[in-house]
Structure 1
Amino acid sequence: MIALLARYGLAVLLALAVAGKARRFTAFRLSLGRYGLYGPAARAGASTVVAVEALAAALAVSPAPAVLAGAAGTVLGTVFTGLQAFLLATGDRAPCLCFGTEAPVSAASFAQAAAVLAAGLLLLVSG
């Protein structure tokens, strides 16, 4: 039961993230300048993030083994949580546009990233 909840929780979180980024794709692409990505590199980076999130969401609801969905969620969650922690630690309150909003990086955006990580880890250990 926990694995099923983690699978669908991960899928919903990632689907919301994809929808938010897709809805405000230009703003998301421009926000990657905070990480040194500009022009074509930002376009490629933004497209890659959206595609990987969408694929991971699809994997979470597919008949693929839970451990694969867990690995995808864990990798994405680790990267996102790490970036959020870095920005919070350095005092950089740049908008993350994680779910399509331009709210500054905060404990709430950190919690969203950590939820992706937690769902991925749950799937890894239960799968």
Structure 2
Amino acid sequence: MIVIVTRYGLGILLALAVLGKARHFAAFQSSLAPFGLHGRIAQVGAFTVVTVEALAALTAFAPVGDVVVGVIATILGASFTAAQTYLLTVGDQAPCLCFGRRERASMRTWARAALVLLMGLTLWSVAA
């Protein structure tokens, strides 16, 4: 039961994140500046993040193994958590547009990123 709740919860969480970023794509693109991404590189970076996140969301609902979904979510969650950790470590209160709302990087945004990581690790370990 925990696998089903985690897997579909992850899919819904990622789908909401994709919708938020897609609705405010230009703002999301500009939010990548603290990572050194500007202009065309920021556009490609934003498109890549949205695409990878959308594919990960779709995978959660696809007929693939729980381990596959877990590995994908773990990599995605680790990336997002690392990005939030970087912002918090350097003291940059850059805006996070993770769900389409402009909010400053904080322990709250870090916890949401870590939740994706935790959900991925849960799927990976339970299904393995």
TM-score norm. by structure 1 comes to 0.97
Percent identity, please.
Answer: 52
* Distance of 1:45 and 1:88 partners within structure 2: 21
Question: Which residues in structure 2 correspond to 1:88-127 (within 5 Å)?
Answer: 88-127=88-127
Partner of 1:81: 81
Corresponding position: 1:58 with 2:63: no
Deviations 1:29-80 (A, max 9, x none): 1111111111111111100100000000000111100111111100010010
Question: Which residues in structure 2 correspond to 1:36-55 (within 5 Å)?
Answer: 36-55=36-55
SS in 2 for 1:64: coil
Q: CA deviation at 1:89?
A: 1.6
Deviations 1:84-107 (A, max 9, x none): 111112211100111111110011
Q: Match of 2:86, as an amino acid? A: F
* Distance of 1:30 and 1:85 partners within structure 2: 19
SS in 2 for 1:7: helix
* Distance of 1:108 and 1:83 partners within structure 2: 13
* Distance of 1:23 and 1:107 partners within structure 2: 24
Corresponding position: 1:6 with 2:12: no
